[in-house]
Amino acid sequence: MVESRRGASARAPRTNFESPSHRITLGDCVAEMSKLQAGSVDLVFADPPYNLQLKGDLKRPDESHVDAVDDDWDKFDSFSAYDDFTRAWLLAARRAMKPSATIWVIGSYHNIFRVGAIMQDLGFWLLNDIVWRKSNPMPNFRGRRFTNAHETMIWAARDEKAKGYTFNYEALKAANEDVQARSDWLIPLCTGEERLKGADGKKVHPTQKPEGLLARVLLSSSKPGDLVIDPFNGTGTTGAVAKRLGRSYIGFERDKTYAKAAEARIAAVEPLPEESLAPFMTAREAPRVAFSELIERGMIMPGTKLFDAKKKLGALVRADGAIMLGDKVGSIHRIGAVAQGAQACNGWTFWHVETKKGLRLIDELRAEIRAGMAE
Ligand SMILES: C[S@@+](CC[C@H](N)C(=O)[O-])C[C@H]1O[C@@H](n2cnc3c(N)ncnc32)[C@H](O)[C@@H]1O
């Protein structure tokens, strides 16, 4: 499944949109991930067996059968067997991760504490634990415990010193009414049309995750063109979302039926238009442009004046890139602060140049330079 994509949009930072590919490898994830090039993966999402330790059939008070996870792939002889398995796949995933890559592991109270401790022992650096709060959880049928209404996702960097991992802070904030995104996510279980069903009308897989959950994971911690892997592919939820969001994907699954269903599901996904995916440039990520570059490029001539929005103040632009107001000389920021009697000022959003069409913020001239850089 290979998709051909064009270059990133002019205003976006450089990202590799070229030919994201999507595939599922049949087999044991530890053995298969070991064949990946070391340090090649940008993001890992793992939904491993939870080792639910269910003893016998789960029944409702009316004796009807509860469709719980009792599959062989979720069974381990002991906690220590589960820990060995966890260590093995985490090490294989870590080897494949770029130094700047991050990993998500989802689990429930049955396994997540063991997984978290092992991750720390192996050197992963925990960044967050996200609580996925289910808006439509399964009730507790026996009434002997609280309704288990959440799962936990651990998000971790490859190691403590890892630098430059992707966290699309500004985009998440913008999508959240300009409020910082929180670590508790309210998302419904995967039901209805989204749930993969076989010819017999039964669920293809017992633990298919909602696409909304994976979309938030990928949108927060990866970029278009990144390589995302999922050691426990199942129905390919991660792969379907990765393709829709313009990321490359490799999933590992040892069950042939699940792998086939996932392949068909991913093949049917249409990637979103590039312009709807291009990461927006955050203030932190945007390339630095010095005010003197505007002079060097002939966008502002030495000797012209910079004005505040009301045109009450006029500062002279010097040939060396400093500006002068009265007898005060300094940067656009320093003189902007002096002009307002303020401690600090962002000169880019304070000073204007005069054009035929009126005053124009110098920040707009800087944006033109940055757009050219992105091209
Ligand atoms: C919890 S499910 C993942 C469900 C998936 N996130 C989805 O949305 O469909 C775990 C999957 O891992 C697979 N699996 C278990 N052990 C594996 C292994 N060692 N290698 C590859 N796949 C494995 C199981 O067959 C199962 O489909």
Q: Kindly indicate the confidence band of residue 31, based on its pLDDT and cuts at 50, 70 and 90.
A: very high
The predicted structure's pLDDT at residue 67? 62
Query: Any idea which of 63-77, 191-205, 252-266 has the lowest mean pLDDT?
Result: 63-77
Q: What is the per-residue pLDDT for 141?
A: 84
> pLDDT per residue over 49-99, tens digit each?
998 876 655 666 666 665 666 778 878 989 999 999 999 999 999 999 999
CA 6/CA 337 separation, integer angstroms: 44
Helix pair angle (237-244, 211-221), 10° resolution: 50
Calculate mean pLDDT across residues 166-175. 91
Asked if the model's pLDDT at residue 288 lies above 80, the reply is: yes
Provide the pLDDT confidence category of residue 374 given band limits of 50, 70 and 90: low
Considering only CA atoms, which residue is closest to atom 7 of ligand 1? 208
Q: What pLDDT score does 71 carry?
A: 79
Task: pLDDT band for 11, please (50, 70, 90 cuts).
Answer: very low
pLDDT at 59: 63
Q: Is 14 helix (H, G, I), strand (E, B) or coil?
A: coil
On the question of pLDDT at 14 being above 70, the answer is: no
What residues flank ligand 1, with Cβ below 6 Å?
28-29, 47, 49, 73, 205, 207-209, 232, 234-235, 237, 252-255, 258
Residue whose entry in the numeric block shows the structure tokens 């396994």 = 111
Task: Write the residue with the smallest CA distance to atom 14 of ligand 1.
Answer: 232
Q: Which of 29, 30, 50, 73 to mutate to test the pocket of ligand 1 (most atoms within 8 A of CB)?
A: 73
If you average pLDDT over every residue of the chain, what do you get?
A: 90
Query: Superfamily assignment of 22-276 in CATH?
Result: Vaccinia Virus protein VP39 (3.40.50.150)
- Order of all β-strands in the sheet with 184-187: 22-26, 248-253, 227-230, 41-46, 97-107, 150-157, 125-134, 184-187
Mean pLDDT of 311-333: 96
First to last CA, the chain: 28
What pLDDT sits at residue 75? 83
Residue 4: band (very low, low, confident or very high) from pLDDT cuts 50, 70, 90 = very low
CA-angle at 374, arms to 227 and 273, nearest 5°: 55
Q: What is the best residue among 132, 203, 207, 232 to mutate for testing ligand 1's pocket, by most ligand atoms within 8 Å of CB?
A: 232
Which atom of ligand 1 is found nearest the CA of 196? 9
Distance 52 CA to ligand 1 centre (A): 14
Residue nearest to ligand 1 atom 4, measured at CA: 234
Mutate-to-test residue for ligand 1 from 72, 254, 257, highest number of ligand atoms within 8 A of CB? 254
pLDDT tens digits, one per residue of 17-28: 456 799 999 999
* 248-251 contacts, C-beta under 8 A, 24 or more apart: 248/20, 248/21, 248/22, 249/20, 249/21, 249/22, 249/23, 250/22, 250/23, 250/24, 250/25, 250/36, 251/23, 251/24, 251/25
- Please give the distance, rounded to the nearest whole angstrom, from the Cα atom of residue 299 to the centre of ligand 1: 57
pLDDT at residue 235 in the model: 98
Confidence label for 104 from pLDDT (cuts 50, 70 and 90): very high
- What is residue 55's predicted lDDT score, i.e. its pLDDT? 62
Q: What is the mean pLDDT of residues 243-252?
A: 98
What was the pLDDT predicted at 271? 96
Tell the residue nearest (CA) to atom 22 of ligand 1.
253
Residue 218: closest CA among 55, 102, 374: 102
CA of 259 to the centre of ligand 1 (A): 10
- Model confidence at 9: pLDDT above 70: no
Domain assignments of the chain as residue spans, ordered by start: 22-276, 291-373
Mutate to test the pocket of ligand 1, among 75, 208, 229, 253 (most ligand atoms within 8 A of CB): 253
Instruction: Indicate which residue's Cα is closest to atom 15 of ligand 1.
Output: 73
Question: What average pLDDT score do residues 164-191 get?
Answer: 93
pLDDT top residue among 343 and 142: 343
Tell me how crowded residue 173 is: count the other CB atoms within 10 A of its CB: 14
Mean of pLDDT values over 306-323: 96
Q: Report the 10 Å Cβ neighbour count for 95.
A: 16
What confidence score (pLDDT) does residue 248 get?
A: 97
Is a pLDDT exceeding 60 seen at residue 224? yes
**Residue with more model confidence, 255 or 5:** 255
286's CB contacts (< 8 A; 6+ apart) are: 13, 370
When pLDDT is cut at 50, 70 and 90, the band that residue 12 belongs to is very low
Residue 351 near residue 315 (C-beta atoms within 8 A) = yes
User: Across residues 34-57, what is the average pLDDT?
Assistant: 89
Q: What share of the chain is helix, strand, coil (3-state, %, to 5)?
A: 30, 20, 50
Report the pLDDT value the prediction gives residue 227, as an integer from 0 to 100. Answer: 98
SS3 letters across 164-208: CCCCCHHHHHHCCCCCCCCCEEEECCCCHHHCCECCCCCECCCCC
Alpha-carbon distance of 238 to 108, in angstroms, equals 19
Residues 6+ apart with CB under 8 A from 26: 253, 254, 256, 259
